[in-house]
Structure 1
Amino acid sequence: MGYKDRKYKRSRHLFDSFKHAFTGIKTAIAEERNMKIHLIVALVVLACAGGFQVTKSEWLILLICIFIVIILEMVNTAIERAVDTVTTEFLPEAKKAKDVAAGAVLIASLMSFIIGLIIFIPYVLAIN
């Protein structure tokens, strides 16, 4: 059965494309534990940035880090679900694909954490 024969056909309308994208975002938030964790951390970071009144460039860096982590978490979720759809048995290559995607999220999260430390430590140390 080809892709065109399946229940979900490619959308020809821009509005439908946006609708599908928002559905994907809602699904990731509703069904993925790690996405919820990333969003909670993002809210804490944004609250701290507002409280410390970070500079405009620091805001931009923080936002880029937040969005990179969230985007990679969604790509990781897509890869995991695609692999799980293709096979239910253990395949070493399927495991590698899932592990590499998870590793990308971990690297982005560590990078974001380090950048957060670099930005926030001077503000915290300035509190007397």
Structure 2
Amino acid sequence: MKSKNSCAPYAFRAVQTDTYRLRTVQNDHTAMKNKNILQSMRHAFDGMQAAWKAERNFREYAAIYAIFFVLNLMLGASVTEFLIGFGLVCGVFSAEYLNTALERLIDTRFPEICEDNKFIKDTAAAGVFIVSIAFFLSQGLILLPKLLEVIACVF
């Protein structure tokens, strides 16, 4: 049973962005299937490019990661420490891609404001937040002792 404030379903509306031309396909589920792995990879890169252009968060996360990458290089992080940071950054970007896709779907398919839409968007954003916190905590645990060591040598 739907809640009192739930959204009524709307017919699918095709959305056009700079990178994508979506079309409505009825009863033909194979029309949008990738023919091979190269086409699948091309579509993945198209999605990455579209999200990079459309979402400020991707550019901000990339800048933050670049700063931490340089700090890790300068402070002599081990390969394992680099891999931990890289894995968590991949997690942040993956969560952000899913969040972006869900937000776009909600905004285009169910444009009205309601509690269900807010819940979906907020919980997707919470997933990004949790992985981001894990990245920052891991980088703090990795870099703080190294920074304190450098400061102790200077003073």
- TM-score, normalised via structure 2 length: 0.76
* Partner residue of 1:66 out of 82, 86, 89: 89
1:2 paired with 2:26, answer: yes
Residues 40, 3 of structure 1: CA spacing in aligned structure 2 closer, same or farther, 3 A cutoff? Answer: farther
The corresponding residue for 1:29 is 52
The corresponding residue for 1:86 is 109
1:79 touches 1:101 (CA, 8 Å); kept in 2?
A: yes
Aligned-residue RMSD, C-alpha:
1.6
* Partner residue of 1:57 out of 69, 80, 89: 80
Residues 42, 108 of structure 1: CA spacing in aligned structure 2 closer, same or farther, 3 A cutoff? Answer: same
Question: 5+ unaligned residues in a row in structure 1: which ranges?
Answer: none
SS at match of 1:126: helix
1:109 paired with 2:132, answer: yes
Runs of 4+ residues over 6 Å off in structure 1: none
The corresponding residue for 2:144 is 121
* Partner residue of 2:99 out of 70, 76, 100: 76
Give the drift of 1:3: 6.2
The corresponding residue for 1:18 is 41
Question: 5+ unaligned residues in a row in structure 2: which ranges?
Answer: 1-24
More helix by share: 1
SS at match of 1:61: helix
Matched AA of 1:77: T
Larger radius of gyration: 2
Percentage identity across paired residues of the two chains: 27
Give the drift of 1:9: 2.2
Residues 78, 3 of structure 1: CA spacing in aligned structure 2 closer, same or farther, 3 A cutoff? Answer: farther
Give the drift of 1:83: 1.0
Higher relative contact order (CA 8 A, sep 6+): 2
1:3 touches 1:9 (CA, 8 Å); kept in 2?
A: no
